[in-house]
Chains A and B, each alone.
Chain A
């Protein structure tokens, strides 16, 4: 490492503490603000969606997957409900099913 590199390396020190404070605040507040306005309706939305699907098909409550992803600009709520397949009606008599 030449002495020039030494100076360059020193220059690239981490941002000053005030800049770090700003960045940390922006991230934590983005999430806390989402929580304040929207958090409470997500569990109910999930229940309602599952209930609607259950009116049409018998679903196994254990086979509902919910994933919430909080991003900076948008958040997504993904609900994956496993529907019983054509074969499931026959599950009581497995021998009758053909591959």
Chain B
């Protein structure tokens, strides 16, 4: 068995991942690139006597890497060892993609070119001559469509074929005068034992002429550096004079652009016509109607999340309560019975209930992303976000934050400027993640009228976003003076989302969620149950049991039973802890149970709901089968409920999110700031809201 290692490189959105998914009989591994939290997808596939290993590198527009993700790809290309480069390009925008291909070909590595999305070109009535393209570039070319699985398996054959060639057959040369300078520099580089291969020296010479700092750093320590440095300066001066340019980088950009243009002219016919994207864009990013349409979409999403998502909630809630009661009767009484029926089932049930809401929200965000609308929203909001010291691209992590804060922190990598990135990350927590949804849905169902529920939910999400913008503005004025980074972004064409990919995402999401509920949340519930059931107080119990036996009145019996349960809970470890922290939350109208639930939310936001379920289930007689919502209405007042909502909106996200932030931001000062300020702010805001409501007479 021979091993071939290949890397898949291309500009963003050309369909690399789709191709990887379309390769038959491949085994997929998902991991991270060493040292960074950029997802690394790798497939292994057998073909004859070969085992081919393909790494999917993050999308990159140019070897002049700009974002941290592009830097990952560039570093991988320069430093890792691999046998073959698979360069994927989008046939629709061949010229732009070929400019990058020409940069790759400078490396003179064994390369194959996959021209993807030919189906779209053909649909528009266009044609591409793959053979001619292959002749011009000197490398194998495959016309492919990941969507129709066309040409995908041929990639493997070509990889094996070029693997056996002695070297790259690339035929691309620049203008004679440029090549002359390249050769001069390459010769100097070859004097160093660091270089054994002319092609590599040529590549380095080109990159040096283009002022590539990564390469400059490598040659900086070589003994030939002085000679090289001088020759480089002269070469640059000569080229600037010869071609009348201010910067040699422009010269290479012009050369490659002109080459790409002439190649496209020779191999492709693409009639220019108004595309569907043109038509849709006329409406969706209309100067006047664009923003209202965007707001309407967002509003609609939250209405759907609540209205459809909560249809099964009451039913699920009742079913779970009945199930717990049924189990309580058939299991032998004792601790085991109690931990299951009072601890785990209500807690896990309380969280599972909200799976439909979460799935709808995730589906919505995925749709925004996959259809290409997310980029339009960034376009529409850039001017607005700029006022708050952010930029349009920050919209993408911000919206992802509505799904889950963890990937949102990672999505902030698309921002190049470190200040922009930090500001965005510091306010991401105010974008309410879907784990907080159960808490809101629960509290809204308990304390607001059904007909206004969707609007209240929308207001919570909008309120969080507005607060985030406001904080961003303050941060920009106080801590991060300076202009936000420039905004230049590709607007991908609208595409019908792949239903398979959507279903797959939802399936993975549900699986993860149920797993989390069954493990992490069930575990947390057991701990909470234990802390709320121990220590036992035999004399107290004995006293009450005596009293209960003495009375004949069933009403009084029940009342005494409830009293006993409440006393036991208050004397438990959790009750003691709650009493200890109660003073902090007392100004917000929280009793110790709400205080404990709030703290437990730092583990994961769903745990707030499960903790409430456990705490309020324990304090109740057995005959009742009232639901959590009814109990909350009984025990919590409206002002405190709203204050709790405000706290949940603002205070620190869960530990998983916090550790992601720590991983992404190495400075201790920022980590400390990030850990403290949301909690202080949350308390202050909740206190103000509580006072205002009290003043208004609620």
Whether chains A and B associate is: no
Q: CB within 8 Å of A: which residues of B? A: none
